[in-house]
Amino acid sequence: MFHRPPVFRRAMTFIVLCAFTATATFSSQAQQRNPDQLVGQTVLDAPASSYRFERFVVESADGQRRWRVNLGVPVRPSTALAPVLYALDGNAVAMVLDQPLLAELAASPAPPVLVLIGHDNERRIDSVQRTRDYTAWIDRADDESGQLQVVGGGAHAFLDVIERQVKPEVARRASIDPQRQALWGHSLGGLFVLSSLYTRPAAFQQYVAASPSLWWSQGAPLGDMETQFIDNSAGQPIQLWVMLGGDERSGNRGVRDMANPRVVAHLRRVGGAPSDAAHALAGRLAAVPGLQVQYREFPGLGHGPMLSASFKATLAALYGIADHGAVQGAH
C-alpha cells in the first residue's frame, strides 16, 4: 500500500494552503458545495413519458442503515434485454436528469435501465454516509477542529449491498442484460468504482471513474492495485473510463473561502495526491492485460461540475446519444 512520508505530506500541505490562500477571496459568495442541499423537485416526480421511475429501499443487516434506489425503466416496450447503468450519489444524479435527456436516451437503439443509488434521505449528497460507503481504505486525518478522525473503509460492505440486494431487486423489476452492466461514480464515488474494479471486476463490464479522489488516505489508492485486478479478472475484458476536469488536472480549484475551517481541512487532505494523478493512473492501467482504458479530460471544468458533465458523457459513451457532457458552464 502506498503512503506519503510525513515530511512530504507536511510540505505538500504548506504548498497547497499557500497557493490557495494567495488566490482566495474571503467572501461569503465564495464557491463552495452546500453540504445541506436538498434534492427538491426532479424528473422522479414528473409523470412518466419516456422513462417511468419507481423506488425501493434496501437496508443493512442490522437495520441501522438504509439506501434509496430510484429505478428508471424505458416506457417503450422492448423484446431485447436492456443494458443497465448503476449510478452512485443517486439523489444528485436525479437532479442532473431532465425530460429532453431522458427522451433522447429512450429513443436510442438500446435504452438503458437507470439505477440511481443514494442514501435514504432528502439530501443531494450525504457526506458522512458516502464517505463510509465509497472508500475501501481507512483515512486518518485532522478535521476542521484539528481533531484526529478515523473514517471510511466501508466500500466492500457497500458493494455487497449492491450485489446481494440491489441487483436482484433490479432484475426482478426490469428485463436487464447481465452482460451489459455499468457502474458510474464521481469523486469518492469514482474511488469506489476503482476499488470495485480492482477487487471484483466481474461485477460489471463497464466502469466509469469520474474525478476519483485518489488523495484519500494520504494517496493509498495510488498503490499497486493493478495486481488485484489481474488476480481477480480471470482474463475477461473490462472497459474503464477515467474522466477528469481540466482545472482539476491543472490544480486550479477556483475561489475558496479560506476562513471556512471545513474548506481548510479538506485542502489539507487533498495534498495526498498530485492533481494529475487520475491522468497518470489511466496511463498506467492502460498497460494492464484485459483492461481497455479510455481517458477523457473536460477543459475548463473543476471538481464539482464534473458530476453532471461526466454522467452525461457516460450516457453518450455507453448508449450513443449526443454528448451533452461536452457542453457545460464554467466553475
Q: pLDDT for 68-83, tens place per residue?
A: 999 999 999 888 999 9
Which of the residues 248, 266, 275, 308 is marked catalytic?
A: 248
* pLDDT greater than 80 at residue 294: yes
- Pick the closest to residue 265 from 255, 274, 257, 254 (CA basis): 257
* pLDDT greater than 80 at residue 258: no
Most confident option among 162-171, 247-256, 267-276: 162-171
Tell me the C-alpha to C-alpha distance, in Å, between residue 7 and each of 3, 105, 145, 223. 12, 50, 22, 19
Tell me the C-alpha to C-alpha distance, in Å, between residue 248 and each of 28, 274, 305, 317. 23, 10, 11, 21
Average pLDDT in the chain: 85
Is 187 designated active site?
yes
The pTM of the full predicted model, rounded to 2 decimals, is 0.85
Could you give the domains of the chain? 6-320 (3.40.50.1820)
Is 248 designated active site?
yes
b (16+ CB within 10 A) / e for 248-274: bbeeebbbbbbebeebbbbbbbbbbbb
Confidence bin at 226 (pLDDT 50/70/90):
confident
Which of the residues 186, 303, 308, 324 is marked catalytic?
A: 303
- Pick the closest to residue 303 from 240, 224, 250, 234 (CA basis): 250
pLDDT the model gives residue 179 = 96
Tell me the per-residue pLDDT of 105-155, one tens digit each, with 9 for 90 and over: 999 999 999 999 999 999 999 999 999 999 999 988 766 667 777 889 999
Q: Which range (2-6, 163-167, 199-203, 261-265) has the least confidence?
A: 2-6
Q: Are strands 206-210 and 291-298 parallel, antiparallel or unpaired?
A: unpaired
Which of the residues 50, 104, 119, 187 is marked catalytic?
A: 187
